[in-house]
Amino acid sequence: MWKTLTSAAAKPRSLLWFPENKYFMRIRVSLSLLYATFVCWMACASGFAQTSAAQISAPQPLIVQRVDNSQLVTLQGNTHPSAQSLTDLGTASPNLTLHRMLLVLKRSSTQEAALTQLIDEQQEKDSPNYHQWLTPTAFGQRFGGAPQDIQTVTAWLQSSGFEVTQVSQAHDVIEFSGTAAQVQAAFHTSIHSYLGADGPHWANASDPSIPAALAPLVAGVESLNNFPKKAANAFGGVYSESTHTVVALPQFTQGCGVDNNGNPLTCFAVSPWDFATIYNVLPLWNGAIDGTGETIAVVGRSNI
Protein backbone atom coordinates (compact mmCIF):
# COMPACT_ATOMS: atom_id res chain seq x y z
CA MET A 1 0.00 0.00 0.00
CA TRP A 2 1.05 3.64 -0.48
CA LYS A 3 1.29 5.78 2.59
CA THR A 4 2.62 9.31 3.14
CA LEU A 5 3.98 10.03 6.63
CA THR A 6 3.31 13.64 7.61
CA SER A 7 3.26 13.40 11.39
CA ALA A 8 5.90 15.46 13.18
CA ALA A 9 6.71 12.45 15.35
CA ALA A 10 7.12 10.14 12.38
CA LYS A 11 10.63 9.18 11.34
CA PRO A 12 11.73 9.65 7.72
CA ARG A 13 10.66 6.64 5.74
CA SER A 14 10.20 5.53 2.17
CA LEU A 15 6.90 6.48 0.59
CA LEU A 16 6.48 2.83 -0.33
CA TRP A 17 5.43 1.39 3.04
CA PHE A 18 5.01 -2.17 4.22
CA PRO A 19 4.12 -3.67 7.61
CA GLU A 20 7.10 -4.22 9.84
CA ASN A 21 7.71 -7.97 9.58
CA LYS A 22 10.52 -10.03 8.09
CA TYR A 23 8.65 -11.05 4.96
CA PHE A 24 7.77 -7.55 3.87
CA MET A 25 11.13 -6.23 5.00
CA ARG A 26 12.81 -8.59 2.52
CA ILE A 27 10.49 -7.39 -0.26
CA ARG A 28 11.27 -3.79 0.57
CA VAL A 29 15.01 -4.40 0.55
CA SER A 30 14.77 -6.28 -2.75
CA LEU A 31 12.76 -3.49 -4.33
CA SER A 32 15.25 -0.90 -3.10
CA LEU A 33 18.16 -2.82 -4.59
CA LEU A 34 16.29 -3.29 -7.86
CA TYR A 35 15.47 0.43 -8.02
CA ALA A 36 19.07 1.40 -7.28
CA THR A 37 20.32 -0.97 -9.97
CA PHE A 38 17.85 0.49 -12.49
CA VAL A 39 18.90 4.08 -11.71
CA CYS A 40 22.57 3.15 -12.04
CA TRP A 41 21.95 1.37 -15.33
CA MET A 42 20.03 4.34 -16.74
CA ALA A 43 22.75 6.79 -15.69
CA CYS A 44 25.47 4.64 -17.21
CA ALA A 45 23.49 4.14 -20.42
CA SER A 46 22.79 7.85 -20.67
CA GLY A 47 26.45 8.71 -20.14
CA PHE A 48 27.50 6.15 -22.74
CA ALA A 49 24.99 7.52 -25.26
CA GLN A 50 26.13 11.07 -24.69
CA THR A 51 29.78 10.07 -25.02
CA SER A 52 29.11 8.11 -28.20
CA ALA A 53 27.11 10.98 -29.72
CA ALA A 54 29.87 13.44 -28.88
CA GLN A 55 32.47 11.20 -30.45
CA ILE A 56 30.43 10.74 -33.62
CA SER A 57 29.21 14.30 -34.14
CA ALA A 58 32.15 16.38 -32.89
CA PRO A 59 33.18 18.77 -35.70
CA GLN A 60 36.59 18.22 -37.21
CA PRO A 61 39.10 21.10 -37.40
CA LEU A 62 39.19 22.90 -40.75
CA ILE A 63 42.19 25.12 -40.04
CA VAL A 64 45.18 22.87 -40.60
CA GLN A 65 47.88 25.39 -41.53
CA ARG A 66 49.73 28.04 -39.59
CA VAL A 67 48.12 31.47 -39.85
CA ASP A 68 50.37 33.59 -42.08
CA ASN A 69 49.27 37.20 -42.59
CA SER A 70 51.32 37.43 -45.78
CA GLN A 71 49.34 34.65 -47.50
CA LEU A 72 45.91 36.14 -48.22
CA VAL A 73 42.59 35.12 -49.75
CA THR A 74 39.91 37.62 -50.83
CA LEU A 75 36.37 37.12 -49.51
CA GLN A 76 34.27 37.69 -52.62
CA GLY A 77 30.88 39.40 -52.38
CA ASN A 78 31.59 41.18 -49.09
CA THR A 79 31.10 44.76 -50.36
CA HIS A 80 27.70 46.37 -49.86
CA PRO A 81 26.13 47.28 -53.25
CA SER A 82 25.03 50.68 -51.94
CA ALA A 83 28.67 51.64 -51.46
CA GLN A 84 29.15 51.43 -55.22
CA SER A 85 26.24 53.73 -56.09
CA LEU A 86 26.64 56.55 -53.54
CA THR A 87 28.99 59.50 -53.57
CA ASP A 88 32.37 58.44 -52.19
CA LEU A 89 33.71 61.07 -49.77
CA GLY A 90 37.02 59.30 -49.28
CA THR A 91 38.63 57.36 -46.47
CA ALA A 92 36.86 57.56 -43.11
CA SER A 93 38.65 58.58 -39.93
CA PRO A 94 41.03 55.82 -38.77
CA ASN A 95 39.57 56.24 -35.27
CA LEU A 96 36.04 55.46 -36.45
CA THR A 97 34.75 52.67 -34.18
CA LEU A 98 32.92 49.78 -35.80
CA HIS A 99 30.69 47.94 -33.32
CA ARG A 100 29.29 44.42 -33.68
CA MET A 101 31.19 43.29 -36.74
CA LEU A 102 30.40 39.65 -37.43
CA LEU A 103 32.83 37.06 -38.74
CA VAL A 104 30.56 34.47 -40.32
CA LEU A 105 31.84 30.89 -40.29
CA LYS A 106 31.00 28.09 -42.68
CA ARG A 107 30.50 24.37 -42.26
CA SER A 108 32.45 21.55 -43.81
CA SER A 109 30.87 19.59 -46.66
CA THR A 110 30.33 16.68 -44.26
CA GLN A 111 28.54 18.91 -41.77
CA GLU A 112 26.47 20.48 -44.53
CA ALA A 113 25.34 17.06 -45.78
CA ALA A 114 24.53 15.89 -42.25
CA LEU A 115 22.56 19.06 -41.53
CA THR A 116 20.56 18.72 -44.75
CA GLN A 117 19.75 15.12 -43.86
CA LEU A 118 18.70 16.09 -40.33
CA ILE A 119 16.42 18.87 -41.60
CA ASP A 120 14.75 16.39 -43.96
CA GLU A 121 14.34 13.81 -41.20
CA GLN A 122 12.84 16.39 -38.84
CA GLN A 123 9.98 16.77 -41.34
CA GLU A 124 9.44 13.04 -41.96
CA LYS A 125 6.88 11.55 -39.58
CA ASP A 126 8.37 8.06 -39.90
CA SER A 127 11.83 9.25 -38.89
CA PRO A 128 13.07 8.99 -35.28
CA ASN A 129 14.29 12.58 -35.72
CA TYR A 130 10.80 13.87 -36.53
CA HIS A 131 10.39 17.22 -34.72
CA GLN A 132 13.49 16.51 -32.65
CA TRP A 133 14.65 20.11 -32.62
CA LEU A 134 18.13 21.12 -31.48
CA THR A 135 19.02 23.83 -29.01
CA PRO A 136 21.57 26.43 -30.22
CA THR A 137 24.22 24.77 -28.05
CA ALA A 138 23.50 21.30 -29.41
CA PHE A 139 23.48 22.71 -32.94
CA GLY A 140 26.90 24.24 -32.37
CA GLN A 141 28.31 21.02 -31.01
CA ARG A 142 27.29 19.18 -34.18
CA PHE A 143 27.34 21.75 -36.96
CA GLY A 144 29.45 24.62 -35.69
CA GLY A 145 33.16 25.28 -35.84
CA ALA A 146 35.52 23.02 -33.93
CA PRO A 147 36.62 24.51 -30.57
CA GLN A 148 40.26 24.68 -31.67
CA ASP A 149 39.24 26.49 -34.87
CA ILE A 150 37.17 29.00 -32.89
CA GLN A 151 40.16 29.55 -30.62
CA THR A 152 42.50 30.08 -33.60
CA VAL A 153 40.25 32.66 -35.26
CA THR A 154 39.57 34.42 -31.96
CA ALA A 155 43.32 34.62 -31.26
CA TRP A 156 43.92 36.07 -34.74
CA LEU A 157 41.26 38.77 -34.22
CA GLN A 158 42.68 39.67 -30.83
CA SER A 159 46.22 39.79 -32.18
CA SER A 160 44.93 42.28 -34.77
CA GLY A 161 43.73 44.56 -31.98
CA PHE A 162 40.02 43.71 -32.11
CA GLU A 163 37.86 43.13 -29.07
CA VAL A 164 36.08 39.80 -29.40
CA THR A 165 32.67 40.30 -27.80
CA GLN A 166 31.19 36.84 -28.05
CA VAL A 167 30.92 33.61 -29.99
CA SER A 168 27.40 32.51 -30.90
CA GLN A 169 26.05 29.38 -29.23
CA ALA A 170 25.79 27.80 -32.67
CA HIS A 171 29.54 28.39 -33.17
CA ASP A 172 28.93 29.95 -36.57
CA VAL A 173 29.42 33.67 -35.83
CA ILE A 174 32.13 35.56 -33.94
CA GLU A 175 31.21 39.10 -32.88
CA PHE A 176 33.99 41.65 -32.56
CA SER A 177 34.60 45.41 -32.51
CA GLY A 178 37.43 47.68 -33.56
CA THR A 179 38.46 50.79 -35.46
CA ALA A 180 38.62 51.56 -39.17
CA ALA A 181 42.42 51.50 -38.96
CA GLN A 182 42.36 48.00 -37.45
CA VAL A 183 39.97 46.81 -40.17
CA GLN A 184 42.29 48.12 -42.87
CA ALA A 185 45.34 46.46 -41.31
CA ALA A 186 43.70 43.09 -40.66
CA PHE A 187 41.27 42.77 -43.60
CA HIS A 188 43.19 44.84 -46.17
CA THR A 189 40.21 47.02 -47.10
CA SER A 190 39.66 50.67 -46.22
CA ILE A 191 36.51 52.11 -44.68
CA HIS A 192 35.15 55.03 -46.73
CA SER A 193 32.54 57.67 -46.03
CA TYR A 194 29.58 57.89 -48.41
CA LEU A 195 26.79 60.37 -48.93
CA GLY A 196 23.30 59.18 -49.77
CA ALA A 197 19.85 60.72 -49.99
CA ASP A 198 19.20 59.69 -46.40
CA GLY A 199 22.46 61.13 -45.08
CA PRO A 200 26.09 60.05 -44.53
CA HIS A 201 27.19 56.43 -44.27
CA TRP A 202 30.39 54.44 -44.03
CA ALA A 203 31.34 51.07 -45.50
CA ASN A 204 34.27 49.03 -46.76
CA ALA A 205 35.30 50.14 -50.24
CA SER A 206 36.41 46.70 -51.46
CA ASP A 207 36.16 43.03 -50.56
CA PRO A 208 38.17 42.14 -47.44
CA SER A 209 41.00 39.62 -47.37
CA ILE A 210 42.01 37.16 -44.65
CA PRO A 211 44.93 34.77 -44.14
CA ALA A 212 44.57 31.77 -46.45
CA ALA A 213 44.79 29.40 -43.48
CA LEU A 214 41.46 30.74 -42.18
CA ALA A 215 39.65 30.44 -45.53
CA PRO A 216 38.28 26.89 -44.96
CA LEU A 217 36.36 28.19 -41.93
CA VAL A 218 35.52 31.85 -42.66
CA ALA A 219 32.66 32.61 -45.05
CA GLY A 220 32.72 36.39 -44.81
CA VAL A 221 32.48 39.53 -42.71
CA GLU A 222 29.11 41.09 -41.95
CA SER A 223 28.41 44.64 -40.75
CA LEU A 224 31.44 46.36 -42.27
CA ASN A 225 28.98 49.19 -42.97
CA ASN A 226 26.16 51.10 -41.31
CA PHE A 227 23.58 50.90 -44.08
CA PRO A 228 20.21 50.32 -42.35
CA LYS A 229 18.02 47.36 -43.14
CA LYS A 230 15.08 48.28 -45.32
CA ALA A 231 11.58 46.96 -44.73
CA ALA A 232 10.55 44.42 -47.36
CA ASN A 233 6.82 45.03 -47.04
CA ALA A 234 4.81 47.07 -49.54
CA PHE A 235 1.33 48.60 -49.43
CA GLY A 236 -1.05 46.18 -51.12
CA GLY A 237 -4.34 48.07 -51.07
CA VAL A 238 -7.39 48.69 -48.90
CA TYR A 239 -9.37 45.76 -47.52
CA SER A 240 -13.13 45.87 -48.03
CA GLU A 241 -15.36 44.42 -45.29
CA SER A 242 -18.28 44.04 -47.68
CA THR A 243 -16.48 42.13 -50.41
CA HIS A 244 -13.68 40.62 -48.28
CA THR A 245 -11.22 41.53 -50.99
CA VAL A 246 -8.27 43.85 -51.38
CA VAL A 247 -8.34 46.30 -54.25
CA ALA A 248 -4.77 46.00 -55.51
CA LEU A 249 -2.69 44.71 -58.37
CA PRO A 250 0.02 42.73 -56.57
CA GLN A 251 3.27 42.01 -58.39
CA PHE A 252 4.55 38.92 -56.61
CA THR A 253 7.38 38.28 -59.08
CA GLN A 254 9.84 41.07 -59.61
CA GLY A 255 13.47 41.84 -60.25
CA CYS A 256 15.88 41.88 -57.32
CA GLY A 257 18.92 43.56 -58.82
CA VAL A 258 21.95 41.63 -59.99
CA ASP A 259 24.36 39.10 -58.53
CA ASN A 260 28.12 39.49 -58.13
CA ASN A 261 28.64 38.68 -61.80
CA GLY A 262 26.10 41.24 -63.03
CA ASN A 263 23.41 38.66 -63.86
CA PRO A 264 19.80 39.75 -63.17
CA LEU A 265 18.06 38.20 -60.17
CA THR A 266 14.36 37.47 -59.81
CA CYS A 267 12.43 37.34 -56.52
CA PHE A 268 9.48 34.97 -56.16
CA ALA A 269 7.43 36.22 -53.25
CA VAL A 270 4.80 34.30 -51.29
CA SER A 271 1.21 35.48 -51.70
CA PRO A 272 -1.21 35.53 -48.73
CA TRP A 273 -2.93 32.35 -49.90
CA ASP A 274 0.43 30.61 -50.29
CA PHE A 275 1.22 31.63 -46.72
CA ALA A 276 -2.16 30.33 -45.54
CA THR A 277 -1.57 26.97 -47.19
CA ILE A 278 1.98 26.55 -45.95
CA TYR A 279 1.26 27.51 -42.34
CA ASN A 280 -2.36 26.28 -42.17
CA VAL A 281 -3.82 29.60 -41.05
CA LEU A 282 -7.10 29.31 -42.97
CA PRO A 283 -8.91 28.20 -39.78
CA LEU A 284 -7.74 31.46 -38.23
CA TRP A 285 -8.95 33.52 -41.17
CA ASN A 286 -12.30 31.71 -41.22
CA GLY A 287 -12.94 32.43 -37.55
CA ALA A 288 -12.40 28.94 -36.15
CA ILE A 289 -9.54 30.33 -34.05
CA ASP A 290 -10.12 33.57 -32.17
CA GLY A 291 -6.65 33.95 -30.61
CA THR A 292 -7.72 33.50 -27.01
CA GLY A 293 -4.68 33.04 -24.78
CA GLU A 294 -2.19 33.67 -27.58
CA THR A 295 0.45 36.39 -27.84
CA ILE A 296 1.78 37.62 -31.17
CA ALA A 297 5.04 39.51 -31.59
CA VAL A 298 5.74 41.30 -34.87
CA VAL A 299 9.39 42.11 -35.66
CA GLY A 300 9.55 45.21 -37.80
CA ARG A 301 13.31 45.49 -38.15
CA SER A 302 16.24 43.52 -36.81
CA ASN A 303 19.98 43.20 -37.18
CA ILE A 304 20.73 39.62 -36.22
Q: What is the 3-state secondary structure of the chain?
A: CECCCCCCCCCCCCCECCCCCHHHHHHHHHHHHHHHHHHHHHHHHHHHHHHHHHHHHCCCCCCCCCCCCCCEEECCCCCCHHHHCCEEEEECCCCCEEEEEEEEECCCHHHHHHHHHHHHHHCCCCCCCCCCCCCHHHHHHHHCCCHHHHHHHHHHHHHCCCEEEEECCCCCEEEEEEEHHHHHHHHCCCEEEEEECCEEEEEECCCCEEEHHHCCCEEEEECCECCCCCCCCCCCCEEECCCCEEECCCCCEEEEEECCCCCEEEEECCCHHHHHHHHCCHHHHCCCCCCCCCCCCCCCCCCC
- pLDDT value, residue 257: 75
- pLDDT value, residue 8: 39
Q: How would you write the pLDDT of the chain (304 residues) with one tens digit per residue?
A: 343 333 334 433 333 333 444 433 443 434 444 444 444 444 443 443 333 333 346 889 999 999 999 999 999 999 998 888 899 999 999 999 999 999 999 999 999 999 999 999 999 999 999 999 999 999 999 999 999 999 999 999 999 999 999 999 999 999 999 999 999 999 999 999 999 888 999 999 999 999 999 999 999 999 899 998 877 776 666 766 776 665 555 556 666 777 778 787 777 677 777 788 788 888 888 777 777 888 888 877 766 5
